[in-house]
Amino acid sequence: MNIIVNGQTMQIEDSIDRVDKLLHSFNLQVKTVVVELNRQILTREYHETTAIRDGDRIEIVHFVGGG
Amino acid sequence: MLRIGNYTFESRLLLGTGKFSDLEVQSQAVEASGTEVLTFAVRRLNLEDRNKQHFLDTLDLKRYTLLPNTAGASTAEEAVRIAELARASGLCDMIKVEVIGDGITLLPDPIETYKACEILLEKGFTVLPYISDDVILAKRLQLLGVHAVMPGASPIGAGRGIINPYNLEIIIEQAVVPVIVDAGLRAPKDAAHAMELGADGVLLNTAVSGSGDPVKMAKAMRMGVEAGRLAYEAGMIPVKRYAAASSPVEGMVHT
């Protein structure tokens, strides 16, 4: 299916049908990320129970250096 | 002791984490500064560069309180969204409300800042707005219930020190919450100056990260903040128009 992650369209396997699976597929090294699905913020406890569907818009953000 | 909302800090120096060239230097600078509060920005994760090490991941989070900012926001709505993303990390509930109104001066938009603070207070955040040195805005925000006000000394990264000590003094005099002088500082004398005026703390970033030796400068700033605070607590002598001798005027040997 196709989803939009951080503004970029990407094609993912249909088996990646949950937020936690998507994060796992990116093999992230960053310890703390926050996910927004279709403008709804998902705290960590919802990652395993939230489905990803074709056309979903996902934001993955984290803390970077700033003043 | 600096008290902001439910937090207490020994150190009165808050440090930004932007524009450090090297993680090791940054860690040493943070250590040398003695800070307990570190600011961060919230940004999209770069999926192309996902193995890059980030400063946050190197931190012992038990030792520091995170103060994410809403940099990048130009409206209250954007600021609230960034604040909620930051809080959803589970790492913090403090937020530096930074709503920039102008790309040249990077001065904060007072109206959008006020609106954002109103919403964020309702949502239960510990709210620290970055504002220009506007006495009445500082007052109005305190009436709303913000937990600290953070007036700028001069524009972000400009290194011009305190442009308007008069306004800062009035803000400090009238404040019922901590006043953190934020942005525009360059030298330890600027940090000391802010503290001598009676500020409760200073927040700086570029002054340290952009200096020739961030570790040394972090220590210098720490000393500047401590010296200024001690002087404020001690109470400085009044300024006089003419000289006042410090040696006794009686018993001169040639009279």
**Residue among A26, A36, A65 whose CB faces B47 most closely:** A26
Question: Chain B contacts of A36, Cβ < 8 Å?
Answer: 85
Quick check: B62 contacting A, CB < 8 Å?
A: no
Tens digits of residue pLDDT in B80-115: 999 999 999 999 999 999 999 999 999 999 999 999
> What would the two tokens of residue B79 be?
């600021």
pLDDT grade, residue A29 (50/70/90)?
confident
Question: Chain A contact for B35, CB < 8 A?
Answer: no
Q: Is the pLDDT reported for residue B255 higher than 80? A: no
Q: Please choose, from the candidates B179, B188, B134, B180, the residue with its C-alpha nearest in 3D space to the C-alpha of residue B39.
A: B180
Cα–Cα distance measured from residue B107 to residue B130, given in angstroms and rounded to the nearest whole number: 9
Task: For chain B, report the end-to-end CA distance as a whole number of angstroms.
Answer: 53
Instruction: Please give the pLDDT value at position B50.
Output: 78
Q: A with B: how many residue pairs have Cβ under 8 Å apart? A: 105
**Residue B44 exposed, middle or buried by CB count within 10 Å (0-12, 13-18, 19+):** middle
Kindly tell me if the per-residue pLDDT of A63 is higher than 80: yes
Return contacts of A24-28, CB within 8 angstroms, 24+ apart. A26/A60, A26/B47, A26/B50, A27/B50, A28/B45, A28/B50
User: What local confidence, expressed as pLDDT, does residue B209 receive?
Assistant: 97
Determine contact: B45 vs chain A, CB below 8 A. yes
Question: In terms of DSSP bridges, do strands B2-4 and A40-42 run parallel, antiparallel, or are they unpaired?
Answer: unpaired
Q: Residue type at B245?
A: A
Q: Which of B44, B51, B69 sits opposite A61 (nearest CB)?
A: B44
CB-based contact (8 Å) between B55 and chain A?
Answer: yes
Residue whose tokens read 């993955």: A60
Using CB atoms, pick whichever of A7, A26, A67 lies closest to residue B18.
Answer: A67
- One-letter amino acid at B28 equals Q
Q: How confident is the model at residue A30 (pLDDT cuts 50, 70, 90)?
A: confident
Residues of B with Cβ-Cβ distance to A31 under 8 angstroms: 56-57
How does pLDDT run across B215-241, given as a tens digit for each residue? 999 999 999 999 999 999 999 999 999
Establish whether B115 is a catalytic residue. Answer: no
Tell me the C-alpha distance between B187 and B194, whole Å.
11
Phi and psi angles of residue A16, each rounded to the nearest 5 degrees, phi first: -85, 80
Q: What are the Cα distances from residue A48, in Å, to A42, A43, B86, B137?
A: 10, 10, 20, 44
A 8-67 residues with CB < 8 A to B: 8, 26-34, 36, 41-44, 59-67
Q: What is the pLDDT of residue B51?
A: 77
- Looking at B62, B96, B115, B240, which residue is catalytic? B96
In this prediction, residue B239 carries a pLDDT of 95
Window B:75-104, CB contacts with A under 8 Å: 84-86, 88-91
Count Cβ atoms within 10 A of the Cβ of residue B108 and give its class: 0-12 exposed, 13-18 middle, 19 or more buried.
buried
Q: Does position B242 have pLDDT exceeding 90, yes or no? A: yes
Q: Per residue in B159-201, pLDDT tens?
A: 999 999 999 999 999 999 999 999 999 999 999 999 999 999 9
pTM recorded for the entire structure: 0.95
CA distances from B158 to B67, B96, B131, B149 (A): 22, 19, 16, 20
User: Which residue out of A32, A45, A63 would a mutagenesis test of the B interface target, given it has the greatest number of B Cβ atoms within 10 Å?
Assistant: A63
Measured in degrees and rounded to the nearest 5, phi and psi for residue B114 equal -60, -45
The pLDDT confidence band at residue B254, using thresholds 50, 70 and 90, is confident
